[in-house]
Chains A and B, each alone.
Chain A
Amino acid sequence: NAGVTQTPKFQVLKTGQSMTLQCAQDMNHNSMYWYRQDPGMGLRLIYYSASEGTTDKGEVPNGYNVSRLNKREFSLRLESAAPSQTSVYFCASSPSRTSGKETQYFGPGTRLLVL
């Protein structure tokens, strides 16, 4: 049981390049999320997918696109990378709300450096 996996672990891009961050979960969770973590700012939600087939913007969606490929996979795409997108990116998943106590389960993160 791998939980939430992310690839790649680390990436260096030049300004203007594009790339896709991959995320997969094997817990049969309905909801998936992408966050970015910057020093002194905690985690900020970029996009989320409440269920397969739906995606919605979070707090900081500009410069990103997402695809919920199936129930397991949720990818984040940077079409034209900018230095301001240098960050650590976390993918997370959670089951449907039942008791409300359900936590989100996080992947190991992807460190992205945009030069």
Chain B
Amino acid sequence: AQKITQTQPGMFVQEKEAVTLDCTYDTSDPSYGLFWYKQPSSGEMIFLIYQGSYDQQNATEGRYSLNFQKARKSANLVISASQLGDSAMYFCAMREVGFNDYKLSFGAGTTVTVRA
């Protein structure tokens, strides 16, 4: 069963506007972490933001914020004031508890294109 679901294959956003990327997850583990990564056309994976399952507040990192709705198992990424450099593929990932390892499960990704 798919653990991470990203339902938006592609999105267009106007420069300077905000965009929300959807991510839902499936786990029975009470302790887990959610990550968002950016993959520009050059191919590297860039860590953006982290949300822990026990964190009381939604995570924020500069223009990135995470809308975490635990009961709905949803961890949407919000990019504010979009820039042309935000055009990329975005992946949501989840870490489940492991004693000594740190495996991540990734969603299929959402491609964001920022228009001038």
Taking a contact as CB atoms closer than 8 A, the residue among B9, B33, B107 that contacts A101 in the complex is B33
Q: Which of B11-19, B68-76, B80-88, B94-102 contacts A (4 or more CB under 8 A)?
A: B94-102
Q: Is B25 in the interface zone, CB < 8 Å from A? A: no
| Listed A/B pairs (29) with beta-carbon separation below 8 Å | A31-B100, A31-B102, A35-B106, A42-B4, A42-B6, A42-B91, A42-B108, A43-B45, A43-B93, A44-B106, A45-B103, A45-B104, A48-B103, A50-B98, A50-B102, A51-B100, A90-B45, A92-B45, A94-B102, A96-B100, A97-B102, A100-B31, A100-B95, A102-B102, A103-B50, A104-B47, A106-B44, A108-B43, A109-B43
Q: Is A41 in the interface zone, CB < 8 Å from B? A: yes
Q: Is A78 in the interface zone, CB < 8 Å from B? A: no
The interface of chain A, by Cβ under 8 A from chain B, is 31, 33, 35, 40-45, 48, 50-51, 56, 58, 88, 90, 92, 94, 96-97, 100-106, 108-109
How many chain-B residues does the 8 Å CB contact rule pick out? 26
A residues within 8 A CB of B91? Answer: 42-43
A103-B106 in contact (CB<8A): no
CA distance A104 to B4 in the complex (A): 17
The interface of chain B, by Cβ under 8 A from chain A, is 4, 6, 9, 31, 33, 35, 43-45, 47, 50, 52, 91, 93, 95, 98, 100-109
